[in-house]
Amino acid sequence: MKLTICHLYPDLLDLYGDRGNILALSARCRWRGIEPVIQRASLGEDLDFLGMDILFLGGGSDREQGLLVQDLMRRENELRSAIESGLVVLAICGGYQMLGKYYQMTSGEKIQGLDILDVWTIAGAKRLIGNVVVDLDENVLGIDSSPELRTLLGFENHSGQTHLGEGMKPLGKVSFGNGNNGQDGEEGVRYRNVFGTYMHGPLLPKNPHFADLLLELALQRRDPNTCLMELDDRLEKLAHETMVKRLLKQP
Ligand code: GLN
């Protein structure tokens, strides 16, 4: 079995080692005997959104986001229909912002987004930087098996403050750090199989249960009866729980 994972704009949106998310997804496929097929595409390169299983967009500085906006706009219709047909998307920080209506930078200039997510972003005077712990919402975990880990752990560094419109569900409530905007106590968004978050880290090596959720959704989109084989995540879970306890000052 193969699983196609596309890293869009790997040369422009790759802050804080976000490519580590591709490495984590690839490893967790290989450990299960699934062959990961990694595609990479940037400015001017064609893509078949309907032929891929997972699309990944990393984070980037305001400058890089401005460089890719026109290229991203020309992909809107195909990406929108792929998302409406269940394409799994993980979009981190700048990539997350670009799927929304717009990102208004501190200069006041607006970078237009794809308006696929009913979210909008306005840069604040203070950058939101530091570790983040999120208590995952049922709308994310919603898989039958209740994973032992019910938190997400990551690192944020953004000036953008993102607000969710009607119908958009957050990934969960922030128990440490700022999240979407440092005001409403929420972090990230889920819309269909699109997951947006401010959490770098990279995110997925720190959150094996979330990596597996993305893989399971992608495989079930092809065959609803697919179930992922369990992996021995004792070390990953111990690292995750240790850091969460340290940040939340729990024994
Ligand atoms: N440039 C955007 C901001 O500052 C996104 C930053 C990022 O991707 N880490 O909010």
Task: State residue 203's pLDDT score.
Answer: 98
Torsion sign (Cα): 68, 103, 108, 131: negative
pTM score of the predicted model: 0.97
Question: Catalytic residue at 29?
Answer: no
Q: What integer best gives the mean pLDDT of the chain?
A: 95
CB of residue 61 inside a 6 A radius of ligand 1: yes
Task: State residue 246's pLDDT score.
Answer: 98
Task: State residue 16's pLDDT score.
Answer: 87
First-last CA distance in the chain: 43
Q: Please give the domain boundaries of the chain with CATH numbers for all domains.
A: 2-248 (3.40.50.880)
d(CA 135, CA 137): 6
Task: State residue 142's pLDDT score.
Answer: 64
Candidates 6, 7, 29, 93; catalytic one? 93
Task: State residue 141's pLDDT score.
Answer: 74
Q: For 90-113, what is each residue's pLDDT tens digit?
A: 999 999 999 999 999 999 999 999
* Percent of the chain whose pLDDT exceeds 70: 98
d(CA 3, CA 36): 5
Cβ distance 10 to 19 under 8 Å? yes
Question: Catalytic residue at 6?
Answer: no
Residue 139, pLDDT > 90, answer no
